[in-house]
Amino acid sequence: MDQAQPLVELTGATVRFTSTVALDRVDFRMFPGEVHSLMGENGAGKSTLIKVLTGALVPDAGVLTLDGDLQHFSRPYDAQSAGISTVYQEIDLLPNLSVAENIWLGREPRRMGLIDAKAMRRQAAAVLEDLGLEIDPAALLGSQSLAVQQLVAIARAISTNLKVLVLDEPTSSLDTDEVAELFRVIRDLKQRGVAILFVSHFLDQVYEICDRITVLRDGALVGEYLTTELLRIDLVQKMLGREASFFKARERAEAAVEPQEAFLSARNVSVGKGITDADVDLAEGEVLGLAGLLGSGRTELARALTGVDHLSGGIIRLEQKDVHLDSPRKALSLGVVYSSENRRTEGLVGEMTIAENIGLALQAQQGPFRRISPARMRELAASWVEALDIRPADIDVPVRALSGGNQQKVMLARLLALSPRLLVLDEPTRGIDVGAKVEIQNLVGEMADNGLSVVFISAELEEVLRVGDRVAILRDGRIVETAPSSDLNVDSLMALVSRPDLPEA
């Protein structure tokens, strides 16, 4: 395949957002009739690369050739007419229109200037049949299952002069049979010489369907590999980066972690398809690290433990008492606090000052009628700014002016002001610089020493090991193992995270 001419070739793609480089001189290529996977953790630049490829984003630098011709896409329409179509995870079709219209919209067959609905349905039926699908073309798209909607999106794509099909997390909401059907369609398209970019965080699926893998990390290219020549564990290591021997576990207070009375004890917790039968035990003053790849259910578990999402099964006990955490508010009143991984969108209010952001949750907990006096609030905020070393140490600065690390500290201060018993931190160190990372990690350690129980989620394995007293390993929504972090090193953890029982390894 290597001798063939690449169908798509992207060289030196660079995308800068205001301060960060999302994509740094990345080269990427795809051959006709191959299924290619793009791998990387959150923030590795996968979606940015896809956007460049599909015309949704214009790169600051870089050259894109398709079939040997130089291309400049300034909008999705350009990419589509050149033959690059995309099916997004959130299916970007129109649920209020029929299946046939979704396939032909913008290109409807017309007779005497008016749309010929009958011909449109007939042609749609032909396209669907060509893919081996039995879907009523006249049905409203919204009345169909997500899997069918996805296949309709593919049908729309192939009804053009399709050369490249980009599938962004196409299987995340499909069940096994539906995935099999999708793979059948993918293999069919592959036969026709279409290049398919298959982006998924399910390693099994990547290994089942893909011929070639490109790995990105922190916006840079790690490398391009043939699937058959890349072991899973190597792939995971390339995605997460860093040599395993480079890190050592954090110094821990000698006091051996006696299995004390569990503060939190969850049994058989299930949430939809995300989490199955998870057992979690957490003692007072203990830090439990949650390790797992993107999509393994780490965020879902955090949300389940903190009342954000409803459990579909299982029980949660706090201090031996059954609790029903049906809302974050209820969880808060019991001292259970969640810090979202999206601190900008789900946490801080950028326009408000540090003091206001810190006081927000406390005021909400107090209720609107017992107002915290501004003086009291400022005093409180100032003490937290000092305790957490937030910079600038000016509580009247709007939060959006702060660096990522300091924003995270403001978030922590807000939660700590509630004097919680259990703190669930979802990727608290994502997107912040190394120095700030270490500070946050140390803070978590100090908080635990003061008796706070912490669940610490991170995509970086060495960080989980450093911070956690014990580590729970998640794979495909299940906790596959919980072990003291002193028994693990980055290598063994990586093997657990990526799946140890490799037949070919």
Partner 1 sequence: MTAVETAQPERRTLTGALGTFTSRHAAVLPTIAAVAILIVLLVGAQMYFGNFLTARNMSALLLDNAYLMVLAVGMTFVIVTAGIDLSVGSVMAFTGIFGASLLASGVPLVIALPAMLVSGAAIGLLIGVLVQYFNVQPFIASLAGLFLGRGLAFVVSLSSIRVEDPALLWLQSTRFRLGDWYITPTGIIAIVAVVIGALVMHFTRFGRTVYAVGGSAQSARLMGLNVARTTVMVYVISGLCGGLAGLVLTAYSGAGYPRNGIGTELDVIAVVVIGGTLLTGGRGYVLGSMIGVFVYGTIKTIISFMGAEQSWTHIIVGGLLLLFIVVQRAIVARSERGS
- Residues in contact with partner 1 by the rule CB under 8 A: 56, 76-77, 80-81, 86, 88, 92-98, 101, 105-106, 108, 110, 113-115, 117, 133-136, 138-140, 142-149, 156, 177-178, 180-181
Cβ–Cβ < 8 Å for 305, 455: yes
DSSP 98: B
Taking the complex as a whole, how short is the minimal distance between the CB of residue 51 and partner 1, in angstroms? Answer: 11
Q: Which is nearer to partner 1, 179 or 447 (CB)?
A: 179
Q: Which is nearer to partner 1, 92 or 449 (CB)?
A: 92
Q: Which is nearer to partner 1, 147 or 411 (CB)?
A: 147
Report the distance separating Cα 345 and Cα 308, nearest Å: 15
Q: Which is nearer to partner 1, 120 or 278 (CB)?
A: 120
Q: Which is nearer to partner 1, 147 or 413 (CB)?
A: 147
Q: Which is nearer to partner 1, 79 or 236 (CB)?
A: 79
Q: Which is nearer to partner 1, 151 or 443 (CB)?
A: 151
Report the distance separating Cα 176 and Cα 73, nearest Å: 36
Q: What is the DSSP string of 225-293?
A: EEGGG--HHHHHHHHH-S-GGG--PPP--SS------EEEEEEEEEETTTEEEEEEEEETT-EEEEE--
Q: Which is nearer to partner 1, 6 or 55 (CB)?
A: 55
Q: Which is nearer to partner 1, 160 or 363 (CB)?
A: 160
Report the distance separating Cα 150 and Cα 120, nearest Å: 20
Q: Which is nearer to partner 1, 139 or 418 (CB)?
A: 139
Nearest Cα residue to 296 out of 179, 427, 432? 427
Taking the complex as a whole, how short is the minimal distance between the CB of residue 52 and partner 1, in angstroms? Answer: 15
DSSP 499: -
Taking the complex as a whole, how short is the minimal distance between the CB of residue 178 and partner 1, in angstroms? Answer: 6
Kind and range of the H or E run holding 167: strand 164-168
User: Which of 238-243's residues contact partners 24+ apart within 8 Å by CB, and which partners?
Assistant: 238/39, 239/39, 239/40, 239/41, 239/44, 239/215, 239/293, 240/41, 240/459, 240/460, 240/461, 240/494, 241/217, 242/462, 242/490
DSSP 486: G
Sequence-separated (6 or more) residues with CB below 8 Å from residue 294: 41, 42, 201, 459
Q: What is the DSSP string of 324-386?
A: ---SHHHHHHTTEEEE-S-HHHHT--TTSBHHHHHHHHHHHHH-TTSPPPHHHHHHHHHHHHH
- Residue with the two structure tokens 């974050």: 328
Q: Which is nearer to partner 1, 156 or 475 (CB)?
A: 156
From residue 481, alpha-carbon distances to 296, 311, 459, 496, 504 in Å are 13, 21, 17, 8, 22
Kind and range of the H or E run holding 46: helix 46-53
Pairing of the two strands 8-16 and 61-66? antiparallel
Report the distance separating Cα 461 and Cα 466, nearest Å: 9
Token output for 19: 């301060």
